[in-house]
Amino acid sequence: MGEITNVMEYQAIAKQKLPKMAYDYYASGAEDEWTLKENREAFSRILFRPRILIDVSKIDMTTSVLGFKISMPIMVAPTAMQKMAHPDGEYATARAASAAGTIMTLSSWATSSVEEVASTGPGIRFFQLYVHKDRKVVEQLVRRAERAGFKAIALTVDTPRLGRREADIKNRFVLPPHLTLKNFEGLDLGKMDQANDSGLASYVAGQIDRTLSWKDVKWLQSITSMPILVKGVVTAEDARLAVHSGAAGIIVSNHGARQLDYVPATISALEEVVKAAQGRIPVYLDGGVRRGTDVFKALALGAAGIFVGRPVVFALAAEGEAGVRNVLRMLRDEFELTMALSGCTTLADINRSHVLTEGDRLRPTPRL
C-alpha cells in the first residue's frame, strides 16, 4: 500500500478488508443509487471564482457549533455499527475526532454505548436519535446521552421506514452475532421477539415510529435541555417548519442516499434550505463530502459546517483510529489550501461570490 493521498483511497482498501456484507452495508445506497452518485457528482459541477493578491500567510479555520468551539467546520456524521468495520469501532472514531478538535456524532445504532464512548476521554459529542414507538425507550436513551455528557441531539427525521437497499437484501444483512446495538442493552424494551435470527438489530429497526411529526420535536424539547438539530431536511418548506418548531439547527441530509432515491444531492438542496432558514438557525451539510474543496463549496453556499460519514468508516476499516485521524487531517489540510488559493483567511471571508453553480452559469453574466 503506497501513501494515502486522499480520503477516497480508503474505500478500495476497506472493500478488500471487509466481508462483503459489511462493506456493502456501509457503501450502498437506495434502489438505483442515483442519489448516491449524485451526492458526489453535484460537487464536481460547482466551480471556483478565486480572489488573488490577498495575504493568506495566516489562516483561521476555527468555528463554533451551537456555542462549542471546534478547530474546523468538519465534523463526524453518525454512522451505525462501527465495530463491523474495526474492533475498536466508535471508540477509535471518538478518540480521533477529539484529537482533531472536532465533534463526533454517535449513532443510536452504535456498537458502543454512550457511556463507553464518553469513557474514551474528553470531546464534544452529539447523539443521533431515531424516535421509537415506545417513548419510554426514547426518554431512556436521551437521558443516558445527557448524563454521559453529550451536548446535542441530531434527530433523524427522514426515516419513517428504512429505505430499500438492495445490496443488503441480496446479502441478507444481519449484525454479526458477536456485536450488539449497545445503547439498547439494559433498556426496558417491553416485549421483544427473540425468535428472529438478527434479534435486537431487526427489533430496533422495526420499532421506528412512522407517526413521527413536528409535534414530536416539541415533545423532545420537553424531556431534554440539549439543543436539537433536525437531520434530514432537503426543502425550503421543511426548513421553515424546522425553524418554527424551535430546532437549534438543520442538517441538510438525504441519509447518505440510503432512503429515498432520486432526491437531490445535499449540496444541490443546500442553498434552498439556507435561504428559507433566513439566518435564524445554522444550517449544516451532510453527504458526499470527500475533499477540502467540497467543504469550501458548502460553506460558500451557506453551510455553517459539514459532517462526513463514509470516509470515516472506510478509514476505520483500513487503519483503525489512525485512519480516522488521517481522514480528518487530510480534509483539514485540503480545506486550508482551498481557502488560501481562494483568497480567504477566515471562514467569514468565504461567501457566495467565491463559487459558480450550474444555475449561475445558465443566467446571463451581469455587467460589472
Q: How far is CA 253 from CA 171, 208, 268, in A?
A: 26, 18, 11
What share of residues in the chain are helix, strand, coil (percent, to 5)?
45, 15, 45
Q: Check residues 175 and 287 and name the one with the higher pLDDT.
A: 287
**Rounded-to-integer distance, Cα 255 and Cα 11, Å:** 18
The DSSP code sequence of 61-78 is --EEETTEEESSSEEEPP
40 annotated among ligand-binding-site residues: no
pLDDT in tens, 345-367: 999 999 999 999 988 887 766 55
pLDDT digits (tens, 9 = 90+) for 121-143: 999 999 999 998 889 999 999 99
The amino acid present at 218, given as its one-letter code, is K
Angstrom distances, CA of residue 41 to CA of 14, 31, 38, 264, 294: 22, 18, 5, 11, 11
Grid cell 425550503 is found at 236
Mean local confidence (pLDDT), 12-16: 97
pLDDT score of 368 more than 70 = no
DSSP state of 280: S
pLDDT tens digits, 304-325: 999 999 999 999 999 999 999 9
Q: Collect all residues with Cβ–Cβ distance below 8 Å to 363 and sequence separation of at least 6.
A: none
Q: What are phi and psi of 290, to 5 degrees?
A: -135, -5
Look up residue 327 and give its amino acid. Answer: V
288 annotated binding-site participant: yes
Tens of pLDDT, residue by residue over 54-92, are 999 999 999 999 999 999 999 999 999 999 999 999 999
How do residues 37-47 score in pLDDT, each as one tens digit?
Answer: 999 999 999 99
Q: Which long-range contacts (CB under 8 A, 24 or more apart) does 194-199 make?
A: 198/174
Q: How far apart are CA 232 and CA 239, in angstroms?
A: 10
pLDDT at 116 over 80: yes
Which pLDDT does position 9 carry in this prediction?
97
Q: What pLDDT score does 193 carry?
A: 45
Q: Which residue in the block uniquely carries the three cell numbers 493521498?
A: 5
Whether the Cβ atoms of residue 358 and residue 347 lie closer than 8 Å to each other: no
The pLDDT value given to residue 200: 55
**pLDDT of 277 strictly over 50:** yes
- The answer to whether 309 is a known ligand-binding residue is yes
pLDDT the model gives residue 239? 98
C-alpha cell at 97: 475526532
194 pLDDT band, cuts 50/70/90, is very low
Regarding beta strands 283-286 and 68-70, do their DSSP bridges make them parallel or antiparallel, or are they unpaired? unpaired
What pLDDT score does 269 carry?
98
CA–CA distance, 50 with 339 (Å, rounded to integer): 9
Residues serving a catalytic function are: 255
355, 49 contact by CB (below 8 A)? yes
Q: Can you give the pLDDT at residue 188?
A: 67
Q: Binding residue per annotation — 367?
A: no
Q: Determine the pLDDT at residue 1.
A: 58
Which pTM value belongs to this model? 0.94
User: Which CATH class name applies to 7-362?
Assistant: alpha beta
Using 50, 70 and 90 to split pLDDT, how confident is the model at 196?
very low
> Is 156 annotated in some ligand binding site?
yes
Site of grid cell 437549534? 248
Instruction: Give me the mean pLDDT over the 205-233 stretch.
Output: 93
**Residue 162 predicted with pLDDT over 50:** yes
For residue 341, with 0-12 CB atoms within 10 Å meaning exposed, 13-18 middle and 19 or more buried, which class applies?
A: middle
Has 186 been labeled as part of a binding site?
Answer: no
Helix H segments across 266-362? 266-277, 292-300, 310-342, 358-362
- In 3D space, the residue among 271, 140, 276, 137 whose CA is nearest the CA of residue 209 turns out to be 137
